[in-house]
Amino acid sequence: MRFIKLAFISVVFFFLLITGISLFFPSHIRISKAVDIRSSRDAVLRQIDDPANWKNWYPGADTLELYKADDVVKGIRMPGNQSLMITGFTDTTVMAAHSTKNTEKASMGWTLLQPGNGQVTVQWYMDFRLSWYPWEKFSSLLLEKRYGPLMEQGLGKLKKHLE
């Protein structure tokens, strides 16, 4: 009985310790990548704000079907009964979000900056909102390794397509 009591107290203490440490991790994580493209802002914006053009550069979009609503292309259908849809855009930004049955925890967007010299800087960012659960907070340490290379690949394909 003493062993069971010690084991139970140890598990509870360990869980509380891990949870306490995870509370020091931020609940909002942003991953961002950027690339300079020698092209006009309008040409870059046409590739980003129209999901039909994503097949040219977005990683994996060349094999995915388009998501249409009211006969207008709104995004792409992702595996697992999800879709990635454009939620808004201006002349310098495009915002998108994953549509799932769960509450929205991730969103992304692209910002266009025009520093001059006939270049456009495209910044692709992903925002993650995390719950207080320790496994979510600790998994956030791997978000850069998971999404960073895909974002770099997509920006590289966009640059190659436009230049």
Please report whether residue 94 resides in a domain.
yes
CATH number of residue 94's parent domain: 3.30.530.20
Q: What are phi and psi of 134, to 5 degrees?
A: -60, -40
Q: Which two tokens stand for residue 76?
A: 């792409």
Helix 41-49 × helix 143-162 angle, to 10°:
130
Q: Report the C-alpha gap between 101 and 70 in whole angstroms.
A: 21
Q: What are phi and psi of 54, to 5 degrees?
A: -65, -25
Please report whether residue 98 resides in a domain.
yes
In sequence order, what are the beta bridge partners of 7? none
Q: What is the pLDDT of residue 104?
A: 53
Please report whether residue 121 resides in a domain.
yes
- Do residues 37 and 162 touch, judged by C-beta distance below 8 A? yes
Please report whether residue 53 resides in a domain.
yes
How many CB atoms lie under 10 A from the CB of residue 162? 18
Q: What's 20-84 look like in SS3?
A: HHHCCCCCEEEEEEEEEECCCHHHHHHHHHCHHHHHHCCCCHHHCCEEEECCEEEEEEECCCEEE
Q: What is the pLDDT of residue 100?
A: 58
What is the total count of domains within the chain? Answer: 1
Please report whether residue 3 resides in a domain.
no
Please report whether residue 69 resides in a domain.
yes
Please report whether residue 8 resides in a domain.
no
Please report whether residue 50 resides in a domain.
yes
pLDDT in single tens digits along all 163 residues of the chain: 888 999 999 999 999 999 999 889 888 899 999 999 998 888 899 999 888 899 999 998 888 888 888 888 888 888 777 788 888 888 889 998 876 555 457 789 999 998 777 889 999 999 988 888 888 888 888 888 988 999 999 999 999 998 8
Q: What is the pLDDT of residue 160?
A: 92
- Do residues 21 and 14 touch, judged by C-beta distance below 8 A? no
Considering only CA atoms, which of 151, 121, 115 is closest in space to residue 37?
Answer: 121
Q: Report the C-alpha gap between 59 and 52 in whole angstroms.
A: 13
Letter string b/e over residues 86-119, b meaning 16 or more CB atoms within 10 A of that residue's CB: beebeeeebbbbbbeeeeeebebbbbbeeeeeee
Range of the domain at 129: 26-162
Q: Which two tokens stand for residue 57?
A: 């550069």
